[in-house]
Amino acid sequence: MELIELRHIYKTYRMGDLDVPVLKGVTLTVAQGELVALMGASGSGKSTLMNILGCLDRPSSGEYWLDGQEMSRLPSDQRALARNRKIGFVFQNFNLLPRTSALENVAMPLTYASAHLSDRETRRRAEEMLCRVGLQDRLDHQPSQLSGGQQQRVAIARALVNRPTLLFADEPTGNLDSRTSAEVLHMFQQFNGQERITIILVTHDANVARYARRVINIHDGVIRDGSFGVRAKADASQIDVLPVAAAMGGVR
Amino acid sequence: MTAYRIVRTAMKALQRNPMRAMLTTLGIVIGVAAVIAMMEIGTGSSAALQKTIASMGANVVMIRPGTAASGGISFGAGTITTLTPQDYEAILRECPSVRSAAPVVRARTQVVYGNRNWVPSSIYGTTPSFLDIREWATLAEGAMFSERDVLTAGKVCVLGQTLARELFQGEFPIGKEIRVKNVPFRVVGVLSAKGANMMGSDQDDILLAPWTTIKYRVTGAALENSNQSAGSSGTTGSVNTLSNLYPGDAPNLFPARSAVQAADNPMPVRFANIDQILTAARSTAEIAAAIEEITAVLRERHRILPGEPEDFSVRDMTEMTDTLSSTTTLMTNLLLCVAMISLVVGGVGIMNIMFVSVTERTREIGLRMAVGARARDILRQFLVEAVVLCMVGGAMGILLGHGGSYLVWLLLHWPVETSPAAIAAAVLVSAGVGMVFGFYPAWKASRLDPIEALRYE
């Protein structure tokens, strides 16, 4: 089943009197459970495409089907709801709330669409997510007391606390050294393999893209290759998942 | 999200920068503290001022008899003798807005002590509550005559400062005997100085005595003598019935009536009349009610049919009460202006800091939007932060202002009055200031584009 289906997406920005086309007819599909890298040089339209895929922005024209729902014409409140329920984001610069504990950072998305949860349940879910990323003894640490890799893992826990089907990672290793980068990327693979969470890695780094099964290359607003993957079902079993301990072990 | 969680989120966000939150709140704290202190000191001074003005007799309501008329000629106010001591007792009994009442019988005659004499501008026969009505609380010397003196028509009197000075020339007056129309009076007290009234006449040129004494012993215009004339009863009686004991009094001009004459021509039974009733309303606000009640009671007692003109007139000190109420309004409005200005200044401080906060937290806003916050969630978050800031500031301001006014009372002995209305207003206004001045920054925050906000450095 295709989770994401883009058909003839165009995006044009207006700069003064000038129309600047950024995406010029992008068509691609991503299946449920895929781990895809979206690659392109800066200025290629990679970020714009990610914003549209992440429901942060709307295309000028074209269709965007996410999980059976047409997203390109939704009003902003409904897109916010979709972002909360279906999508998680991991950013290059972590974007954690300063002077706020890791636990509260992770619980933050729950306060928006999952207000029905009790305080205890919210805390339980946030704790569980932090344990999953190996930070069970850093619950009350503030971002300034955590290393870069730990901060990024808090960000991953935050992105997944609402149990989304789709995770975007925008240059997730851009601010990390190579060893921590490997840990974080292994963690993505692990979540992709175990939870069947669809992950889209946005990067310009070929070393990062290696961790994905499929690479979508975008250049100058059009997809060069990788628009359509092999069936995801077949893929999932073949992804080689490194042991969790290996990913965790390096941090301590 | 429940209200509790929203407030908790706001508190947490504010706790992330406690120093700035405190400094921001300072504007509101000082504003509200100033308002509370001003209001408390202001209402205190206002109350003190009102008390002072009231002591000039602002709450006094006077009842005088109406006019007598004969053949189309009216004789002017006070010429009919319809007010009775029973009227004043009924007013005291039946009018809840009246604090106290006193009858007044007037005389104008010579007062003699030794080889000195003087005609005081007023000789009032009354009851002890006269002093209470005129807010003439303290006596300089001695004591006021008693209710018992009134019942027994005791020959005692209290002198005003001017009269005492003229008669006694520095001699100690208490216990001395003076004569009023040949009736000996023992001086039991000297009033404190009150000065001139608003019209300039000397209020200290006065003699107070029990009304029964003045009525029956001095003017003697009671019983059969009083109905010979419709003129002012207090001043026209020249026959002094009870002073017949004394030498040198006026001889009876008419021969005594025989039993036959009395049977043929019976004297109508007369009640004792009084010249005036002074009453004091419980407060300035109750003057109107007091007048209404007095009018109703007297109309009933005098059996005046609906639509008939009254045989008495009721008046109050309109000039003084107007001054009183205008002073109070002026005071309140002045304080309100000061309050508004300080709160607006505080509110501008809040707006300023909220803008800084929104700018500084642009990335956070972008992130919150990315994880699913709608525009209205962001708006609400920043609005609640501003309101919480203002409310906390307001609470601290109330404590500070209350403490301040307490200190003023403690150290400077200024009159201070706690004003629950001011406290309630301060809470509402500080929340309102938070809403008004927090709204624009919060709205700006909610309009941010998540993509731009996330990229903001």
Residue of chain B whose Cα is closest to the Cα of A113: B372
First to last CA, chain B: 30
The DSSP line for B2-18 is -HHHHHHHHHHHHHTSH
Nearest to B367 among A77, A95, A104 (CB): A95
| Residue B267: per-residue pLDDT | 66
| Residue B164: per-residue pLDDT | 93
Interchain CB contacts (distance < 8 Å): A and B = 69
A227 close to B (CB below 8 A): no
B431 close to A (CB below 8 A): no
**Which sign, positive or negative, has the C-alpha torsion B128, B129, B135, B137?**
positive
CB contact under 8 A, B374 and A81: yes
Q: Which chain B residues are within 8 Å of A57, Cβ to Cβ?
A: 451
Residue, of B256 and B355, whose pLDDT is higher: B355
Q: Which chain A residues are within 8 Å of B15, Cβ to Cβ?
A: 99
Q: Which chain A residues are within 8 Å of B12, Cβ to Cβ?
A: 100, 104
Phi, psi at residue B203, to the nearest 5°? -80, -10
CB contact under 8 A, A83 and B371: yes
Rg (chain B; Cα; Å): 35
Domains plus CATH for chain A?
Answer: 2-249 (3.40.50.300)
CB contact under 8 A, A95 and B454: yes
A91 close to B (CB below 8 A): yes
pLDDT tens digits for A56-112? 999 999 999 998 889 888 898 889 989 988 999 999 888 998 888 999 999 988 888
Looking from the CA of A16 toward its CB, the CA atoms found within 13 Å total 1
Note which residues in 121-160 of chain A have CB less than 8 A from chain B: 158-159
Q: Which chain A residues are within 8 Å of B363, Cβ to Cβ?
A: 95
B265 close to A (CB below 8 A): no
pLDDT tens digits for B136-188? 878 888 999 999 999 998 999 999 999 999 999 989 999 999 999 889 999 99
Note which residues in 340-369 of chain B have CB less than 8 A from chain A: 363-364, 366-369
Residue B313's nearest CA partner among B275, B286, B266 is B275
Residue of chain B whose Cα is closest to the Cα of A117: B1
pLDDT tens digits for B104-119? 998 888 999 989 999 9
Q: What is the least distance, in Å, from the CA of A100 to any CA of chain B?
A: 7
A77 close to B (CB below 8 A): yes
Average pLDDT of chain B? Answer: 83
pLDDT tens digits for A97-154? 888 899 999 998 888 876 678 888 889 999 999 999 999 999 999 999 999 999 999 9
Instruction: Give residue limits of the domains in chain B.
Output: 3-53+324-455, 60-252+268-316
CB contact under 8 A, A84 and B372: yes
Q: Which chain B residues are within 8 Å of A158, Cβ to Cβ?
A: 371
ipTM strictly over 0.90?
no
A94 close to B (CB below 8 A): no
A56 close to B (CB below 8 A): yes
| Residue B253: per-residue pLDDT | 66
The DSSP line for chain A is -EEEEEEEEEEEEEETTEEEEEEEEEEEEEETT-EEEEE--TTSSHHHHHHHHTTSS--SEEEEEETTEE-TT--HHHHHHHHHHHEEEE-TT--PPTTS-HHHHHHTTHHHH-TTS-HHHHHHHHHHHHHHTT-TT-TT--GGGS-HHHHHHHHHHHHHTT--SEEEEESTTTTS-HHHHHHHHHHHHHHHHHH--EEEEEES-HHHHTTSSEEEEEETTEEEE-SSPSPHHHHHHHSPPPPHHHHHHTT-
- Which residue carries 């709204």 as its tokens? B439
**CB-CB neighbours of A192 under 10 Å:** 24
Q: Which chain A residues are within 8 Å of B364, Cβ to Cβ?
A: 95, 97
- Which residue carries 């429940």 as its tokens? B2
B21 close to A (CB below 8 A): no
Q: Which chain A residues are within 8 Å of B450, Cβ to Cβ?
A: 56
Note which residues in 119-158 of chain B have CB less than 8 A from chain A: none
CB contact under 8 A, A111 and B9: yes
Helix (H, G, I), strand (E, B) or coil at B319: helix
pTM over 0.80: no
| Residue B220: per-residue pLDDT | 65
CB contact under 8 A, A113 and B2: no
| Residue B218: per-residue pLDDT | 85
